[in-house]
Amino acid sequence: MTTFLGMPALPAFGSGNLFAGESFPTAAHRELGNAQLRANLGHATHTIRDKRQAVVAELPDWEQLRDAGSAIKQAVMARLPELLEEFETNFTARGGVIHWARDAREANEIVAGLVRDTGETEVVKIKSMATQEIGLNEYLEEQGIGAFETDLAELIVQLDHDKPSHILVPAIHKNRTEIRDIFLREMPGADPALTDDPSVLAMAAREHLRRKFLTAKVAVSGANFALADSGTLAVVESEGNGRMCLTLPETLITVMGIEKLLPTWQDLEVFMQLLPRSSTGERMNPYTSLWTGVTEGDGPQNVHLVLLDNGRSAALADEMGRSALHCIRCSACMNVCPVYERTGGHAYGSTYPGPIGAILSPLLTGIEAEENNSLPYASSLCGACYDACPVKINIPDILVHLRSVDVDSKRGKKKVPSQMDVGMKAASWALSSGKRLGLVEKGLPLGRLAAGPDRKITKLPGIAAGWTQSRDIPAPPAQSFRDWWAKEHRNAGGAPGTPGTPEAGPSRTLSPDTKETPQ
């Protein structure tokens, strides 16, 4: 639907690697069965989060830094169009070229076209979430262009024809023996005597990558930040392979989500403190590269930037959900998430796993997109993610908001209400009046009967069967508190529900006739 100006009435949702092929509970069930994965993940997340905890505790102004990060991002979202234009003006003035991409398809076509223009058939890549999101490697391959990942973990995943399962540590689900086997199998010219010593593995990767760096004419990168006031792009990394990609080739193509902007150079100071500490648990990351357009005789002479929407405008239009765009992809939320720790990233289906993925994927694609509507329920709402997030994204509140959007979008559409719908309606009726709850509680003795002589309920029907899969329910008491209170106060001379006399005190509440026998 369009208005007469030809503007879309609603921002378009995104496409690409943001969709789950199956619902979260189904995928989680499968991943939970992988004991090796669980052990690897548990070990890795515990290590990173302990490191993070230690370096965060060193900063006396950590909370103020989080507030500042959150405020800067909020300001960016409030005037995103204006800042994008400012950035475009400055980036272009310094010799860079800007391309705007509405969705994954457009972005892929733009990048492929730029590579084709150079006459090359190979590109080196530095780890980028945006190009993962749009599935650029696969698209380029279809076009006859080979894309080689240079980030070590990303390289492992690519060689294994697998998908990353963590945004910062893509191969978090693999141990070093598995990595050695992958290298032996997939890396051209790998030494057959390769051991699983991490330094030996790193050297093998280094040799392999060096060849690529020295021959590649085109590089593709992502960007962690874009500074509007100077038209500068920034990449923050640990291995230095990104720096090789950003300086050696002749053509550099960056793909970046439109939300990565910061208003000024000065704002970067806040994020350079927040990001390394939150992501790798380091005070500062080893390599930070910043580039502003083209410098004659130094570095790439053709510099392009693809600005990617892919559902970000739609997320921005969601008043409750828009702060998900503040995300700086540090991965702190997944490292502290008890759900992610047990299922790993693949269960989330999308490039973005963990708590941020559970809100970002449905925000970018629409909650009605197939199977994505199970993602907002993939959380116990324990709140660990909110506490860890350096830009204070209130993930639990956004999860609850998206659940209500999901429930509402289904209202009226279904011919037969689900068990959950029926249960929630009934519970709403029973729990919105003290009298009605009291009435329901009169049925407690029935539950006692169902519990049998061992005083526990071990099997429930329907959706409640999930509970009794691994937990018993104690037999309900003979009498509810409400009933006890009413009788107590009637005996004490008061009307039911009115307070007793204070003098009656503790002895009354524990008078012998009200004592209950231990079970």
Between CA 460 and CA 469, with CA 464 as vertex, the angle to 5 degrees is 70
Decide if residue 308 touches ligand SF4 (CB under 6 A): no
Q: Extract long-range pairs of 196-201: CB within 8 Å, 24+ residues apart.
A: 201/176
**328 binding partner (options ligand SF4, another protein, none; Cβ < 5 to 8 Å by kind):** ligand SF4
* Separation between Cα atoms, residue 275 and residue 260, nearest integer Å: 13
Query: Which among 113-121, 128-136, 262-270, 327-335 is the span making contact with ligand SF4, rule CB under 6 A?
Result: 327-335
Decide if residue 51 touches another protein (CB under 8 A): no
Provide the minimum distance between the beta carbon of 58 and another protein in the complex, in angstroms, as a whole number: 20
* Separation between Cα atoms, residue 66 and residue 514, nearest integer Å: 53
Other residues' Cβ atoms within 10 Å of the Cβ of residue 179: 23
Query: Which among 88-96, 99-107, 270-278, 436-444 is the span making contact with another protein, rule CB under 8 A?
Result: 436-444
How many chain residues bind another protein (CB under 8 A)? 80
Query: Which among 323-331, 402-410, 441-449, 450-458 is the span making contact with ligand SF4, rule CB under 6 A?
Result: 323-331
Member of 22, 472, 490, 492 binding another protein (CB under 8 A): 472
Q: Are strands 232-237 and 225-227 parallel, antiparallel or unpaired?
A: antiparallel
| Closest to 69 in 3D by CA, of 244, 340, 219, 269 | 269
Between CA 269 and CA 38, with CA 133 as vertex, the angle to 5 degrees is 90
Decide if residue 372 touches another protein (CB under 8 A): no
Asked whether 284 and 276 are in contact (CB, 8 A), the reply is: yes
DSSP state of 339: H
Decide if residue 448 touches another protein (CB under 8 A): no
Q: For residue 272, give the H/E element and its range.
A: helix 268-279
Using CB under 6 A as the binding rule, the residues of this chain from 328 to 347 that contact ligand SF4 are 328-333
User: Which tokens in the block code for residue 442?
Assistant: 């009169």
Using CB under 6 A as the binding rule, the residues of this chain from 264 to 293 that contact ligand SF4 are 278
**493 binding partner (options ligand SF4, another protein, none; Cβ < 5 to 8 Å by kind):** none
**1 binding partner (options another protein, ligand SF4, none; Cβ < 5 to 8 Å by kind):** none
Decide if residue 369 touches ligand SF4 (CB under 6 A): no
SS3 225: strand
Shorter beta-carbon distance to another protein: residue 107 or 385: 385
| Closest to 308 in 3D by CA, of 264, 269, 345, 254 | 254
Site string for another protein, 330-349 (x = CB under 8 A): --------xx--xx------
Query: Which among 242-250, 264-272, 299-307, 383-391 is the span making contact with another protein, rule CB under 8 A?
Result: 383-391
Decide if residue 485 touches another protein (CB under 8 A): yes
* Separation between Cα atoms, residue 519 and residue 517, nearest integer Å: 6
Decide if residue 375 touches ligand SF4 (CB under 6 A): no
Query: Which among 311-319, 342-350, 386-394, 407-415 is the span making contact with ligand SF4, rule CB under 6 A?
Result: 386-394
Asked whether 348 and 142 are in contact (CB, 8 A), the reply is: no
Decide if residue 433 touches another protein (CB under 8 A): yes
Decide if residue 390 touches ligand SF4 (CB under 6 A): yes
Shorter beta-carbon distance to another protein: residue 119 or 502: 502
Query: Which among 165-173, 265-273, 294-302, 398-406 is the span making contact with another protein, rule CB under 8 A?
Result: 398-406
Using CB under 8 A as the binding rule, the residues of this chain from 269 to 328 that contact another protein are none
DSSP state of 498: S
What torsion, rounded to 10 degrees, do the Cα atoms 332, 334, 339, 343 define? -150
Using CB under 8 A as the binding rule, the residues of this chain from 102 to 161 that contact another protein are none
SS3 288: strand
Q: For residue 470, give the H/E element and its range.
A: none
DSSP state of 425: H
Shorter beta-carbon distance to another protein: residue 62 or 485: 485
Other residues' Cβ atoms within 10 Å of the Cβ of residue 288: 18
Decide if residue 389 touches ligand SF4 (CB under 6 A): yes
Asked whether 381 and 355 are in contact (CB, 8 A), the reply is: no
How many chain residues bind ligand SF4 (CB under 6 A)? 14
What torsion, rounded to 10 degrees, do the Cα atoms 272, 274, 280, 283 define? 70
Shorter beta-carbon distance to another protein: residue 47 or 195: 47
**441 binding partner (options ligand SF4, another protein, none; Cβ < 5 to 8 Å by kind):** another protein
* Separation between Cα atoms, residue 220 and residue 254, nearest integer Å: 6
**433 binding partner (options ligand SF4, another protein, none; Cβ < 5 to 8 Å by kind):** another protein
Strands ordered across the beta sheet of 287-291 = 261-262, 225-227, 232-237, 287-291
Residues in contact with ligand SF4 by the rule CB under 6 A: 278, 327-333, 356, 388-391, 393
